[in-house]
Amino acid sequence: MFKVIFTILLISCSSISWSAKFSLDKFNIEINSNFLGEEVVLFGQKDDGKDLIIIFEGTEKQGKLFKKSKKGLFWINNRKDLDKIPSFFAIFSTPKKSINEIFLIPSITRSHFLIQSSFSEKLYQIREALRVKGLYFEDELQSVEGSLFINKFKIPDNISAGNIKVNLYEIKDNKVKNFSQKKLNIQKKGITSRFETMLEEQSLVYAVILVIFSIVFSLISNWLFRRR
């Protein structure tokens, strides 16, 4: 926390009146088998004459959207494959802006697939599905003193590896006046990461190893059974 306070003071002393500055207390998060999520602190300073919207957007990946529908007496799950779902999406603003207010700023919404349309039922369902998993939320930046702001949030344990883009928009009269971007890197470490890398890059070798392991395990099991 002392690191955060010190950095906020530096931002305050070196700030330019017409440009907002922001940072995170960490820019790298490592995922291993014991990962239970991690808290991130977002902080900075804003221009008094402008609103701020900060959007965290994770790497796009493939996903599935399930929707229940009734056919006769039965409810069934309809599956739809999607290929542009961000692994994480969060919106911070000051003063607090609802998602409907952000929809009125097309220069922001057209840059982010998940909020491109206020009328899309599909996008709404994706946002709600991510929200249930803790991978989507909206929150207000808390004022600390004067124009300084801060907010703490948690990267959940089910986050996917990859970069999360952190986009800062300075807004005045519903128009973007300034834009800046940083990246939060989510990286897998340990034996789990090595197995996944092998599966992606050397899937044939991985499959052969599994087959050999299965055969050896079967032979050992049969041998032990016969000894009894």
What's the pLDDT score for residue 70? 66
- What does the pLDDT read at residue 69? 65
Please list the ranges in the chain whose pLDDT falls under 50. Answer: 2, 6, 9-18
pLDDT of residue 189: 81
- Asked, as a colleague might, if the bond just before 106 is cis with ω within 30 of 0, I would say no
Tokens read off for 118:
């206020």
Q: Write out the two tokens for 67.
A: 């929707």
pLDDT computed for residue 208 by the predictor:
72
Chain centre to alpha carbon of residue 109: 17
Instruction: Give me the pLDDT at residue 12, please.
Output: 47
Q: What's the pLDDT at 121?
A: 87
Q: Which pTM was predicted?
A: 0.74
At residue 62, the pLDDT reads 78
Return the pLDDT at 195. Answer: 60
137: enclosing H helix or E strand: strand 136-140
Enumerate residues 6+ apart whose C-beta is below 8 A from 220.
Answer: none
CA 148 to each of CA 139, 145, 166: distance values in angstroms, whole numbers, following the listed order: 16, 5, 18
**Distance (Å, whole) CA 57 – CA 166:** 7
Give the angle subtended at the CA of 208 by the CAs of 204 and 212, to the nearest 5°. Answer: 175
